[in-house]
Structure formats: C-alpha cells, structure tokens
Structure 1
Amino acid sequence: MDTKLNQEAENDKDMKTNTNFTADQTQNPESIYYLHPSNSANTKLVFVVFDGTCYSDWKRSMMIGLDAKNIMCFMDGSLPQPEDNTPDERAWKRCNNMVIGWIISYIERKIAKSFIYLKTASCIWKDLEGRTPSSSHMYRLQEKPLNTTHGPEMTIVEYFTKVKSLWDEIDDLRPLPLCNCHPTTNFVMIPQDQRLITFHMKLDPQNSQVRTNVLLRKDMPDVREVYRMLL
C-alpha cells in the first residue's frame, strides 16, 4: 500500500515538473522561445560595434549571429507577440528583451540611448534601417573603389580584399534585378566587366603585363580569376 502511495506521489511530482517545463517555453528545447543557458546579454555575439558608420557590416554580422541563435524572427518581426497573459506571451517578452539587450550592447552608448525606450527588437531594427541614408551611402560606396589605388605599400591580397568588400556591400544594398525576358541576357556580366576594368585601372604599373594579357582575351575573365593570376 505504501509502495503504491509513494509511486502515485512520484507520478504527481513528475506531472508538476512537466507542466512547469511546458509552461516556461524558454526552457523547452522544442520551443521557438527556447533560450540556451549560454544565451545572455553578456554572450559575445559579434565583433563589430555600430558607431554610426559601416552600418552594412554591423547589420550583416548581427543577422548572422542572431540567425545562428535561431532568434532572428524577433529582429525582423516575423514572430508576432502572442496574446496577453499567456505562457507564450511571457516567453516572447523574455526573448524579445534578450535580443534588445544584444542590439544595444553592440551599439555605441551615445547612439544606444535613443533606442532604450523602444519596446521591441523589431522597432529598434526598423529605426536603425530608417536612419541609414541609402542614396548618399550608395554614392560613397560606388566612389570608393574608384579612389582605391594599388601601390607598393599595399599587397595584392589587401587591394583585392578592400575593393571586393565594397562590391559585396553594394550588391547587398542593391541586388541585381532578375529578368527572364530573354535567355541570352546576362545582367550579371555587365557590372562584373565594369568592375574588372576598374580593378585593372587601379593596379600598380608593375602588374601591367598581367593586365595586358587579360584585356587581350576574347572573353573577359572573372575578377577572382585575375586575382589568382596576380598572386
């Protein structure tokens, strides 16, 4: 009899434990709201702090870090806030505040002050996006490769890395349009050819022989192929 009572008491205890586990979705590994014990506002997420410049680099780093934590949905607003006074609503708020803590910790204090009273991570994200002067920023990005010159003080690796990072940022901000109107139309090759010419124009004169060999080819190679040739 005592054994049966003890077994029932143990089962009741297990049921309460399971109920509490299910109620707190941040502790349930199968829940979208699950927060691993290693997740905290002090966890190192990225190595870039937003200081008002280089927003694209910071944004990309944050997106990678948050997506790896499976909580990008709080940043982009794709996971709406549940109804009030529900277990999911409490879990959502906890995750949302965690993401807010991460965002603010990777923004310089003088800038972060303007976000401290925004209630959701997605609001902060939209505010940051709205502060970025896209047109003037694009102009500066397009101008930088033209003003970047390869010289004796810069290696080929440094020169290629610098201009390629600028091109990647431009492509991220202004993706090429997709068009199926004509199968022979290749919009991708137009900017690639322009970039190859720009890349050659700014090369150190000691690489003139490689430049001549490339420009005499019937089919223009990819910039990365030219980079390998220069190496």
Structure 2
Amino acid sequence: MEIALCSKRKLGFLTGVVKRPSNDPFREAAWDTCNCLLICWIMHYVEQPIKRFVMYTRTAKEIWDYLQKHFSVSNGARKFMLNRELDELSQEDKPICEYFTDINSIYAHLVP
C-alpha cells in the first residue's frame, strides 16, 4: 500500500509531511479532497471489522497511525505471543462487549 501511495505522491499525507494548510481556502479544499481520497482508498483495502474502528476518523494520517500501531508487528516473539493469546481467547458465555474488551486488552498490552 505504501508503494502505491508513494507512486501517486500521497504518502506524505500519511506520514504527516503534508499538513493541512490554514491560510488559503483553495489549498485547504485541495488538501481535504486528497485526505478524503486517501481515506476511501484505505477503507477499500481493510476488512469490515477494522473499518468499524476507523470509520469516524477525520484524517487519513490518524487511520494510518492506528493501523500501524495495531497491525505492524516486526518482533517475531511479540507476534507469536499475540497469535497465541488470540488463539486461546474464546467468547464462551461472555457478552459480546466483554469479549470485545478482552480482544482489545490483548492488543493494548502487546502493541506499544
């Protein structure tokens, strides 16, 4: 995805290099258009459960940061631990909101 966005000269929006201008209404509108385009592209490629977490986010950078924080795992041991805990987790007779909280707490403890 990074390569595709870089080829379209849009990666700077996600890294924060291209910030929303505040002194020129025309440039603000152009930035907003690019931001919405990036949000659409990202939403097209993520699965439905993930979309629910990021659908009300205002900028593509915020969505990108969330996705990197929660799904970018470079440490093999941490990845193994995450997979093991998620494999062992089951809803059993818990309400869905409690089960959901359990899943989120695993991510919160394992992702910096």
- Pair in the same fold by TM > 0.5: yes
User: Higher relative contact order by CA 8 Å / sep ≥ 6: 1 or 2?
Assistant: 2
Residue 71, structure 1, aligned to residue 22, structure 2? no
Alignment of 1:30-69 (within 5 A): 62-69=1-8
Partner of 2:60: 121
Alignment of 1:1-231 (within 5 A): 62-83=1-22, 86-132=25-71, 134=73, 137-139=75-77
- Equivalent pair of 2:73/2:79 in contact (CA under 8 Å): no
**Where in structure 1 are there 5+ consecutive unaligned residues?**
1-61, 143-231
What's the RMSD between the two structures over aligned residues? Answer: 2.3
Deviation at 1:140, TM superposition (A): 6.8
**Where in structure 2 are there 5+ consecutive unaligned residues?**
81-112
- Could you tell me how far apart the structure 1 residues matched to 2:46 and 2:2 are? 14
1:118 partner SS = coil
Deviation at 1:133, TM superposition (A): 6.8
- Equivalent pair of 2:43/2:51 in contact (CA under 8 Å): yes
Identity %, equivalent residues: 32
Deviation at 1:130, TM superposition (A): 1.4
- Could you tell me how far apart the structure 1 residues matched to 2:10 and 2:78 are? 32
Cα deviation per residue 1:157-196 (whole Å; 9 max; x = unaligned)?
xxxxxxxxxxxxxxxxxxxxxxxxxxxxxxxxxxxxxxxx
2:27 partner SS = helix
- Give the alignment's TM-score, normalised by structure 2: 0.63
Deviation at 1:134, TM superposition (A): 3.5
Kindly indicate which of the two structures has a greater share of residues assigned to helix.
Answer: 2
Instruction: Report the structure number with the largest CA radius of gyration.
Output: 1
- Give the alignment's TM-score, normalised by structure 1: 0.32
**Count of matched residue positions in the alignment of Structure 1 and Structure 2:** 80
- Could you tell me how far apart the structure 2 residues matched to 1:79 and 1:105 are? 22
